[in-house]
Structure formats: C-alpha cells, structure tokens
Structure 1
C-alpha cells in the first residue's frame, strides 16, 4: 500500500527538462481545447504544441 508521504516511482514521474522554464499564459478556452486536440493527433502535449507554434511564428516574423 502506498501512503501519501511516499514518493512515486521515479521512472513514471514527469521531469521538466533543465533547459525549460515555466511560462504562464491566459488563452481562450476554445484555443486551449484545440491545442490539446492537436497534441493528441500528433502525440505531443499541449505545451509542446504551443512551443512548436511559437517557434514557427517567430521564424516567419524573422523572415520578413
């Protein structure tokens, strides 16, 4: 039996990569749903989808 004070198995606990930082953003709830659905379709998290979209948008901006 596992008690609240016991740690989870480290093999299944998600760990934030060392080169990442948290960024809090407020977005329209429908956009959040679409990001989650897009992530499911490509087997990525909503955060990964948001990062991909931001990188693509910034790359287009730099090309101008």
Structure 2
C-alpha cells in the first residue's frame, strides 16, 4: 500500500518543528529525512515521517533505538 503524501507545512506540524527547519534539514541532509520533489514542492510520505520518528526514539540512557 502506498503511503499518503503531505506537504512541508503538514510534515512540520506532524514532527513539531517549523517548515523552515525541514527546509534546512533537506538542504544540508541532516537526519536523512526523505522527501519527494514534485516540481518546486517538497512532499513527505507519512510512512517516512513515522520511520524518522522511530529512528529518533530514545530507548534508555540517551541511546538511540537503532544503536
């Protein structure tokens, strides 16, 4: 099943950051958050946002889940 796409403003609200922060992350590749370019628009798959949050989830003592 394909994941739905949301625009940068919606993705920012979902993550609790500003759309400008997402723009900066996209520009410098910080955190490796994937997005889809459609013309001039940056769109985000909801599944990629959920994966991003899973990767950033702390399990204990400040260790990331995947480490």
TM-score, normalisation: structure 2: 0.33
Which structure has more relative contact order (CA 8 Å, sep 6+)? It is 2
* Higher radius of gyration, 1 or 2: 1
